[in-house]
Structure formats: C-alpha cells, structure tokens
A = this chain, B = another copy of it.
Amino acid sequence: MCAAASRGPSSRSAEPSVAEGAGKAGQRLDGAPTARVIVAGASGFAGALAAQLVWRHPHLELVEVTSRSDAGRPLSDLYPRYRVPLELAELDPGRIEADAAIVAYPHGVSAPVVADMRGLGLSVVDLSADFRLGDLPTYEHWYGEHGAPDLLEGAVYGLTELHRDAVREAELVANPGCYPTAALLALAPLAREGLIDDVVVDAKSGISGSGRGGGDANHFVTLDENTTPYKTEGHRHEPEISEQLRIAGGRDVPLTFVPHLLPLDQGELVSCYVRPSREISQDEAEELFRGAYENEPFVEVAEAPPGVRDVRDTNLCRIRVVSRPDRLLVFAAIDNLWKGAAGQAIQNLNLMLGLPETEGLE
C-alpha cells in the first residue's frame, strides 16, 4: 500500500485519491492508490521541474502548484516545455488537500511553510537549505534566524544514497544542495574509509543553478562566452558538505570549496582534489567506488572523465576516480535541476511514500 495513504489525515482524504483526469488516467498502470502532491514554489526552475516530474509520475497526482510572484499565471506560460496544464495559485494552508508536498521556496521563506505543511500531516521534501544543517548555529551563521528550529531534529538529510533508510522513515526530508549532492557522492566512499586528509572541490555549474532572478547577473550577455568563480570568500554549501563528510567518516575533513559559473543551462561538474591519507592505487580506487555504488540505480562509475552532457535531463550522477602520485582526483557530473534538486526530491518522495525509488525518473 502506498505509504502516503496511511499518513494523510483521514478527515482530509476520505475519498480515495486516485487521479481522475483523462490525460493522467492513461498512465495508471495497476489501480494502485495515488498520492496527492502539492508543489509550493513552482515558478522557480527547480520547483517547475518538480511539478513536471510529479505530473508525469504514474503514482503521484499533482493537485496544486503555488507561487509567490506568479500566482494566477498558467505554469505553461513560464515553462512551455514542461506542459503542466495547471495555474499557479497563492499558497493557502487552509485549503490544502494533499498527502505530500515538495517545497521549493527560498532559504528562510521555506521553514514556516514547511511547518504549516507538517502541521497538516503532509510528508514534505524541502528543497531549501532550511533543514539541511543539523547544527543550528552553523545555519544561523550562514542563513540568519531559523523559522522552525523545532523541526530540525526530525528532518533527514536527503542525499538518498547516503541516508536511504532514514529517508524511508522520514516525514520531513531536507533535499541537499546541488553542489553538496555531487561533491558528497564523489567523496563519501573515501570519507567513510577515513582516506581524506584534505580536499579541494572546484565546482562548475550551469546557469539554472543561479535561479530565475538576478537582473544583470543572469543576463545572457553577462554569462555568454564567460566563466567566472563566485563566492570565493566562502559559499554556504561548504558547511553542508563539511557536516556530511564529518558524519560519513567520523572526523573533520579540511575542505576548500569554490563554485564557478559556466555558459550553459543545466549541468554541474565537481572536480575534487583529495590529499589521501595513504597511497591508493588506481585499481583500489576504482574498486572502492564500484563497490560503493554497484547497486545504486542513479550512480554510474565511469572509465572516462564525465561530461555534464552525459547526464543532462537525467537523475544520474556520473563519477570518475583517478589516482595520481600524491592526489586522488574524483570528478562527478550531475544535472543540477535533476539529481541536484527536483529529481532527487522525487527519488526521496518515492521512498517516503513506499513507491519504487526510480519511479517517474526513468
């Protein structure tokens, strides 16, 4: 049975939540119940893709899409490519009829919305940073006051490959940042074995990672034929990566992280330069990574350097490890909107709802 059914408060879901729309009915394969999902903040890049992935998912029903800035507009006006035939609404917690929510609001704005959703009993995947850091002072240092600190403890960090069992049991999942997703998939197998003395992560992202706003900063003419580092004094994904490396390996890992913008739309590559605690041969390194990911549906250990184009519009992370005399190099490519945001949100939601992990993502 779909986990969502037992979780949705019965007073609000007395009727079976099976989709009835003609267009979607054709996708129902087996009469299994369908979880009703709201996507809050669907006018941003990640939220819009999340809405599309829910829309085309065989066991999820997209019941509502909301937006603070574009309420009243059809989502397909903003994203014709996604062809989701719903209109963006103002979020009104009083009339939510759903089993689960994907929340794609900005950091800080998200926490109170998540609290409302949780109060209504919904399973929530939050795409903001609000519940990613277990350490409240670290959060406050980078993001300011927290809007729902009491929910922090129950939140699960949703890098699925690292915390699958916890995600399965979670009612609130903090979806990781795009850079941490790629960096941690690249580094976790080494961190777990205590093999990292220190690491430099040089990250490169397509422009969709910058979000829909930005004025001059995201103008085509600013970014075309350009590449530039940014947040060179420190980026807030750095403590997120550090905390998870510490959790994985049980000790602090000195980390230098610098992001760069690339003149492309979707795609992210992290190049990790590890000073290993001992010499590791190419064979051992490859074996370690293959072992770590052999049963993972969304991680590929490649034999050549990965390109972001190899994973575009997929939920895959493609990894290559290279042993050099004093360094271990690990390269990981993802689509920042998929595995780095909306795709991983569906992956997590599938687990939370008792659905097959890969459903709707292939």
Contact = CB atoms under 8 A, between A and B. Distances in A.
A53 interface: no
A352 to B, nearest CB: 22
A348 interface: no
A313 B310 CA distance: 15
Contacts of A221: 45, 207-208, 212, 218, 265
Contact of A313 (B224, B228, B313, B320): B313
Nearest to A306: B228
Contact of A224 (B222, B230, B258, B264): B264
A327 interface: yes
A234 interface: yes
A26 to B, nearest CB: 9
Indicate how many identical chains form the complex: 4
A254 interface: yes
Contacts of A283: none
A140 interface: no
What class of interface size applies to chain A in its complex with B?
Answer: 35 or more
A204 B262 CA distance: 10
Contact of A269 (B198, B227, B267): B227
A232 B328 CA distance: 11
Contacts of A202: 200, 202, 271, 273
Nearest to A45: B221
Nearest to A228: B307
A256 interface: yes
Interface in A311-362: 311-314, 318, 320, 322, 324, 326-327, 329, 331, 333, 362
Contacts of A11: none
A216 interface: yes
B260 A326 contact: no
B81 A271 contact: no
A168 to B, nearest CB: 21
Q: Which 9 A-B pairs have the closest CB atoms?
A: A228-B307, A226-B309, A202-B202, A80-B310, A207-B220, A200-B273, A229-B305, A225-B264, A220-B223
